[in-house]
Amino acid sequence: MKKVSIGLFIILIILLVIVFASSFRNRDYGQDDFPYKGALFLHDGDYVIFECTEGYNGFYYMTGKDYEVPVQVFDYNTGKELGGYLFLPGNPYPVGENFSYAPFRWMDLQQGYKGRTLKIVLRENRKIYNKTYGDRDLLIKFKPGTTVLYWHGVDSTDWCDLDYVAK
C-alpha cells in the first residue's frame, strides 16, 4: 500500500511540474494585468494597442531570427490602416537574454502616428508587395510610462520564456 501511495504521489508531482512549468500560448492581457516587460508574438494577427504620444511614439523590437518582419499599423479608434506595412529590419533575439539587457532596436513612429491610439499587428505567412514572408516571430516592448491598452496573442516558449526573461 505504501509503494502505491508513493508512486501516485510522485506521478502527481510530475504532472504538477509539467502543468505549471509549461510555456503558455496566445494569452490576452488588459492594461492593468500585463506582468511582463515585453511580449512575444508568434502568429499572424497577434497585436498590441497603445497610445502613441509625444515621448512615447514608438516601440522597441527584436526578431526571432535575422529576417525582416512585416507589421501593419492601424488607428484603433477608426480601424483605418495608417501608411501601409512597416517592415522591421532583422534584429535577432539572443536566446535566453533578459529583456532588461537584450539589444532591442527602437522603431520611431512620427508623422501621422502621434496623438493616436495605435494597433500594431504582426503579419506572416503571406505575400506582401510581391514578396513572400514565411513564419516570423516578433518581440516587442515599450518605454516605461507608455500607455499600453491591450496585448493579444502573447506567447511564451522554451526559447523565450517570458516568466524567466521578461519579469
pLDDT in tens, 70-85: 999 999 999 999 988 9
Tell me, what's the pLDDT at 22? 43
Q: What are phi and psi of 129, to 5 degrees?
A: 50, 50
The one-letter amino acid code at 17 reads: V
| DSSP tally for the chain: helices H, then strands E | 2, 12
pLDDT in tens, 7-25: 555 554 443 333 444 455 6
Tell me, what's the pLDDT at 20? 41
> Which grid cell is 145?
510610462
* Segments of 14-99 assigned E as strands: 27-30, 38-41, 47-52, 58-63, 69-75, 81-88
**Would you place residue 150 in the very low, low, confident or very high pLDDT band (cuts 50, 70, 90)?**
very high
Percent of the chain with pLDDT over 70: 84
d(CA 124, CA 134): 6
